[in-house]
Amino acid sequence: MACHTGKFKKSGLDLSTRELAIRGGDRGPGMVPGKARESLIYRVASHLAEPHMPLQGPKLADAELRVLEEWIDNSAAFAPAVKADKLPTLPDHWSFRKPIRPAIPAVSNTAWVRNPIDAFVSAERDSRKLTPVREADPQILLRRVYLDLVGVPPTLSELNRFLADQSPNAYDSVVDRLLADPRYGERWGRHWMDIWRYSDWYGWRKGNDVRNSARFMWRWRDWIVESLNEDKSYDRMILEMLAADEVVPQDTKALRATGFLARNYAKYDRDGWMQDAVDHTALGMLGITVKCARCHDHKFDPIQQEEYYRFRAFFEPYDVRVDRVPGETDVDKDGLSRVFDGDAQRPTYLYVRGDIQQPDKEKPLTPTVPRLFGLALGKVEPVSLPVDSYYPDHRPFVQADLLAKAKADVERAEADLTKNQVAFAAAEKELAASRVAEGYERMRAVSDELALARKTLAAAKEDVLALGARIAADNAKFANPPDPAYEGYAIEARKAERKAGILKADENVTRAQMEFDQALRAKSPDEKLIGAAQKRLTAATVALTQATEGYHTVGKVYERIARSMALPQALPDG
């Protein structure tokens, strides 16, 4: 049995349930109830078929074989299966019992009791015949409360201030002040981070390749700390971590909470990603382990394998993306990692024996709550999300930031062009004065840099125009009501973007050509460097060709639409 159950299942055979034993494994059905002599399990156990079982062990005694044969001939009954509509209730364990406020116990030392909690402590002390020690000195008491609430001891001035305060509520004032201290959330947030599996991303750092978790998880960390300091309720925290993208889709402060799900991200293992979402949601928020049901019905808790995958179906649509944040357009440098519904129609299948290579595609599963919780799912209705949710770059601050960056790129390109023009003029004078080989070489290099600077500026200017055209088209499309001229704006934007792409590709070709020429002219030419430069030049040239072809295609589409919409018959080139 140890070889054919749980995670082992040698030859794919799992004997943990009657259904799995009958289904068998890699060699076909394991049993034919009522026909022991035709059953593979009996045949290998009686050494009538290879390989003999138990493997590398003695053959079963004749009496044991007769028991096995009679059992299979008598339908091979297992313990009665639990029907889906008659699942047992939750185990009688304290973690599943609904909290009930107990009566405050009577105690012998009533003078010691100052609040109901003291009464329970005193009652337990009475039961053990213990006597309380004297109260802690003020210095010790203050140190304890500081360490407990904010994690650091009080400063000398804080201690002296407390000792000098003779008011009856001096201690209560300290507690209130520390509960309002930002360090309170930092101190207690660590415990919730452990429960919810907080960590930074990891992957191949040399290539800055995020393979597990997602970027900028520290924003989720800050949300945890701030939520505790704001006294946000536990149920609200859970709701935001699992569904802020639908409950408050435009609240970027709350969207940080979905880092709980973004933390599960795995670049090359979506099934592992989904398993973590299910398993750790159950562990961290339901206080129950469900991962056993990934491969079979749970052996202890009343959770069926199908229910595991129906629970997974809640998470199946989601994906992770990085939204821009104010002041930064490069999401590799900073951003907000959050979840969204990447594919609302993505199906969920039960994996036979938990094997991701064996999805039961004949029976797609819909989401539902495991029966053990006794809660109906209720009516599922679609949520209408704002444009920002599925097109975050439409937000006004993003448009403004992108335009500001594009204009700043133009200013840098203009400054670079001016610098190169000055350098070119200086090189001309030097060449006129010397007419030596070094002067000609210097002139060639400066001339190349000047040509590149001109193309960089042209590409930067066109990028501003293309970005402005795209913003105008998007604003027309998503206006309320939409601007009827949207399609014309969109074609203009597409053509401007294509032209910007051509100029950028041309710039890249010039840069790659310069690198190639420099590799050839090196004092000690390196074949590897020359080969690498040649590859970059070839790729840049191909990209330029493709960009040019795309530009002309968009132009033809525009002309066709223009005729039907009475738009200008040609687009300006500037």
- What is the domain count for the chain? 4
368 and 444 share a domain?
no
Q: Domain check: are 160 and 208 in the same one? A: no
Q: Is residue 86 part of a domain?
A: no
Do both 347 and 427 map to the same domain? no
Q: Do residues 122 and 199 both lie within one domain? A: no
CA–CA gap between residue 314 and residue 375 (Å, rounded): 15
Question: Do 22 and 163 reside in the same domain of the chain?
Answer: no
CB distance 436 to 410 below 8 Å = no
Distance CA 283, CA 285 (A): 6
Query: 85-111, pLDDT tens digit by residue?
Result: 555 556 566 667 778 899 999 999 999
- pLDDT (mean) for 319-341: 95
Question: Are 433 and 367 found together in one domain?
Answer: no
Tell me the two tokens of residue 471.
């913003």
Instruction: With respect to residue 105, please indicate whether it lies within any of the assigned structural domains.
Output: no
E strand map for 286-334: 318-323
Please, which residues have CB within 8 angstroms of residue 34's CB and are 6 or more apart in sequence?
72, 73, 74, 75
Judge if 125 and 274 occupy the same domain: no
Give domain status of residue 522, yes or no.
Answer: yes
Who wins on pLDDT, 171 or 287? 171
pLDDT digits (tens, 9 = 90+) for 402-418: 999 999 999 999 999 99
Say if residue 548 is in the same domain as residue 431.
yes
Q: What is the DSSP string of 462-475?
A: HHHHHHHHHHHHHH
Same structural domain, 62 and 38: yes
In tens, the pLDDT along 199-249 reads 999 888 777 789 999 999 999 999 999 999 999 999 999 999 999 999 999
Instruction: Return the pLDDT at 8.
Output: 55
Question: What predicted TM-score, i.e. pTM, was given to this entire model?
Answer: 0.76
Joined together, the tokens standing for residue 402 give 């992108």
Residue 87 belongs to a domain: no
What is the pLDDT averaged over residues 510-524?
81
Domain stops at, among 110, 140, 175: 175
Same domain, 454 and 490: yes
- 264 in a structural domain: yes
What residue has token string 């050494």?
Answer: 47
pLDDT at 182 over 50: yes
Same domain, 269 and 335: yes
Tell which residue, 58, 15, 64, has the closest CA to residue 40.
Answer: 15
Mark whether 34 and 148 lie in a shared domain: no
Domain boundaries, position 352 = 189-373
The verdict on residue 331 lying in a domain is yes
